[in-house]
Structure 1
Amino acid sequence: MIIKFQATAVIPKFVFAHFLVGNAAGLTQEQWESEIKLAKHSLLDGFALNIGQQDTNTDQILQKAYAAADAVGNFSLFLSFDYQSGGPWPANKVVHAINKYKALPAQFYYYGRPLVSTFEGVSNIEDWPSIRNKTDCFVIPDWTSLGVQLFAEVRHNVDGFFSWDAWPAGADDKTLHSDEAWANVTNGKPYMMPVSPWFYTNLPQWNKNWLWKGAQLWTYRWEQIYRFQPDLVQVISWNDYGESHYIGPIHADGIPQGAARYVEDNHHDAWRELLPYYIASYKLGDRSKIRVTKDTLVYWYRPNPNNSGSNGGTTGNCPQQGQQEMDPASLAEDKIYIAALIKEPSWLMVQIGSNNSITTLFASQIGMNTFEVPFNGQTGNTTFSIVRNRTEVAYATGPAITTNCTNGVINWNAVVGSS
């Protein structure tokens, strides 16, 4: 743990991570327990378990998950019904699943009722009054494709709203505008705010091949959460390898066909090292109560410069969602992104390749500092250090920035590491 904070009486705020159950078919209960321990160490409260109705082994996986969460303790789970992967859920199946798992010790209850969410499902909105009646569940769905105005007409069917709008469209940074709109239209009901560190997918079998701007998304989005103070937060995602926004460990048998090229060796675990600070900031609403106990530097960047190979047919933005198609290189800048969580003001040293110049940066404030360092045509392994009073207090090395692309195709995913 890299922070300490003063406890308050009651903090009715929660942070979950979206977990694709379909990517966890090979996990043993012991591996589930390991995943949960990692999540707890990051101060996550639980997992939102994404399940598709076509998966034949979902119950077997869920039983392991709930048993593991119970064994570890103080970690909650809730079901998130995926209405796009494998088609819409029949209402009777939703009722059966909720009632089957709601009595288990690890089930998360919100306002005294078992929490349930969705991924889309706008064609089945009218199912939910009956589902709620038969399960007494607390429904916070993601119906982002419906739009704010139409959701206002059906919000009486549910108990809150979860937005999937976690990424910027185009070259501008993600703003709070959509969060403000969704929070307002819930009309006083709870709003679950999304946060995600990245997005790149190239899965032709599902007609998916685009990226959205990542850059400092992970850090400035958490700053927005700190200011906005939503009722709940959901991280997208723990293990969606195919869309490159995973923050959990990589399990090879969970990587979708075709994604190994840009997922293997592109570990994102270090992004979690910033979570204790950001989650404590959000829950406390006052950073003066937080004390940084360890100097930590987290870095991320793409391993290939954006002119080093074929773009693989990848588009910037998603034309299938009505967005303007852009050159992916215009959204994926050749930069290293750095977050330095420090105990005292310090100097940061960054170098790309052993023969290139060292970039010196000054982290002036106790707590979080963020920086960007352009590639400037340099390649080679990366090195990072935090220096204070002429003493190196943290050090890290990262994999090479290289023009050698796997199969000649640029890897638009991020590599992530830490000191």
Structure 2
Amino acid sequence: MKHLFAALVAALLLFTPVLATKKVFAHLLVGNTPEMELSEWENDMRLAKASLIDGFALNIASQDSNNVRSLKRAFQAAEKVGGFKLFFCFDYEAQGPWRADQIVDLLDEYAGRDVYFKHEGTRPMVTTFEGTGSADDWNRIKKVFPDLYFIPDWSSAGPERAVKLGGGVADGLASWGAWPEGKKSISTQLDRAYLAALGGKGYMMPVSPWFYTNLPGWNKNWLWRGDGLWELRWNQVASVDPDYVQILTWNDYGESHYIGPIHEKQLALFEHGRAPINYAKDMPHDAWRKLLPWYISVYKNGRPPARVLQETAVIYYRPSPARACDGGGTVANAASHGQKEMPPEEVLADKVFWSALLNSDKGLSVKVKIGDDEDYARSLTLVPPAGMGRPGVYAGSVPFNGRTGPVQVTVMQGGRTVAVVRGSKNITNHCEKGIQNWDAVVA
């Protein structure tokens, strides 16, 4: 497995020395893992490591009786895999607030371990999902652990207020603002607001490829625009240059932004959440990890590698046109976030999106075949941070235009075929139970 990891990295790109202070973590829901065996934990960590992810932020709920077993396996797996870190994300929303003594007990048990991530090598890092009402607790917790590096997600408070909570107890802030509102593309405005408010304290920037949830049992049924989001957001990471990056997420199947492998045993959440369809089943997103070594190298080094050793491509699209089936009551935007709800078909584009890792766009031609009909991408929608004609990820899209059937994308340069990518699902006007699946097919 070590040889496989080395070969994968070498095949994708030439790396220059990486800045040790920058790290990329993937957010992992421990609540989805009670049935994961030790070997499965190890496999997930190896997959993440092969993508140059440095570790997992372990999201844990306060009343989850499975935490003890799951955390034990997670830390055992990390110790066996080696070179992979873990740290806690205390979730204050899933099952209510955490008590300070609960947190102290968990930190006492795990924070001193070698595989627990430590900021600057000495300070155990902790984040949260919300918990603004418990901000003062962290002053007491930090008296027990004075070296703790506390970088909570208090997004609901906004950056200016969050940095002052608990008398300024946070050593930095994490943001959950990884998705755009409405038809707009995501910008770095919120990230810049965090940097300004923090005044030199640490910032953990969020990156996510998608968002769709339809779990009425938990009062969740909305989406945010994912068109072109993954590629654009990584370009923004290179521009913002944060202290840390958190990928949202590794295994949140219920919100459709998973980039880790699908574990069938974890899909029971769709039954528990009374989902009308299991929209993650047979919808792997693993290919979104394909370009991570490039993106992460650009972020950590502050510049792109000298050249791409293996040019490749990734595609994604929704399995049905937006108006083909009943929308399942899903809306675009979330009223719970103070946003104006919109019909999804006004926000999402019926398109096949492609991203190609290339040494240059010179002579680039992208052919998209849907069914028996072929079309060519007319323009680029994204170029690398280094500019056109340089190594990096070039991206674009081609509309469905009423076509259905198998999807195949061919990337060519000067008559040379760089990559041929075939979608795992056909585009169709027929949906499971007649309900639209707003999740993405990724290949």
TM-score by length of structure 1 reads: 0.96
* Secondary structure class of the residue paired with 2:307: strand
Counterpart for residue 78 of structure 2: 69
Of 131, 154, 159, the residue aligned with 2:141 is: 131
* Matching of residue 219 in structure 1 with residue 231 in structure 2: yes
Counterpart for residue 370 of structure 1: 395
Aligned residues: 414
Partners in 2 of 1:347 and 1:149 — Cα distance? Answer: 46
Counterpart for residue 149 of structure 1: 160
Counterpart for residue 180 of structure 2: 168
Of 126, 130, 145, the residue aligned with 1:116 is: 126
Bigger mean CA offset, 101-110 vs 202-211: 101-110
CA RMSD of aligned residues (A): 1.5
Partners in 2 of 1:173 and 1:388 — Cα distance? Answer: 29
Partners in 1 of 2:131 and 2:90 — Cα distance? Answer: 9
Which amino acid counterpart does residue 309 of structure 2 have in structure 1? T
* Secondary structure class of the residue paired with 1:99: helix
Counterpart for residue 207 of structure 1: 219
Do 1:192 and 1:230's aligned partners in 2 also have CA atoms closer than 8 Å? yes
Partners in 2 of 1:391 and 1:183 — Cα distance? Answer: 44
Matches of residues 3-402 of structure 1 in structure 2 within 5 Å?
3-8=13-18, 10-111=19-120, 112-136=122-146, 137-154=148-165, 156-255=168-267, 256-257=269-270, 258-259=274-275, 261-287=278-304, 289-344=305-360, 345=362, 346-354=364-372, 356-360=373-377, 365=389, 366-398=391-423, 399-402=425-428
Do 1:294 and 1:343's aligned partners in 2 also have CA atoms closer than 8 Å? no
Do 1:261 and 1:406's aligned partners in 2 also have CA atoms closer than 8 Å? no
Which amino acid counterpart does residue 281 of structure 1 have in structure 2? V
Structure 2: which 5+ residue stretches go unaligned? 1-7, 381-387
Partners in 2 of 1:279 and 1:153 — Cα distance? Answer: 31
Bigger mean CA offset, 138-147 vs 259-268: 259-268
Could you tell me how far 1:360 is from its partner in structure 2? 4.9
Partners in 2 of 1:114 and 1:210 — Cα distance? Answer: 35
With over 3 angstroms needed to count, the CA separation of the structure-2 counterparts of 1:362 and 1:325, relative to structure 1, is closer
Which amino acid counterpart does residue 382 of structure 1 have in structure 2? V
Write the deviation string for residues 63-90 of structure 1: whole angstroms up to 9, x where unpaired: 1111111111111000000000110001
Could you tell me how far 1:126 is from its partner in structure 2? 0.5
Counterpart for residue 410 of structure 1: 436
Partners in 2 of 1:42 and 1:272 — Cα distance? Answer: 6
* Secondary structure class of the residue paired with 2:422: strand
Identity of aligned residues (%): 43
With over 3 angstroms needed to count, the CA separation of the structure-2 counterparts of 1:362 and 1:84, relative to structure 1, is closer
Counterpart for residue 4 of structure 2: none
TM-score by length of structure 2 reads: 0.91
Could you tell me how far 1:228 is from its partner in structure 2? 0.8
Could you tell me how far 1:290 is from its partner in structure 2? 3.8
Write the deviation string for residues 375-413 of structure 1: whole angstroms up to 9, x where unpaired: 111111001122234232321211200011111111111
Could you tell me how far 1:367 is from its partner in structure 2? 2.2
Partners in 2 of 1:70 and 1:127 — Cα distance? Answer: 31
Partners in 2 of 1:150 and 1:248 — Cα distance? Answer: 34
Could you tell me how far 1:173 is from its partner in structure 2? 0.7
Could you tell me how far 1:361 is from its partner in structure 2? 5.5
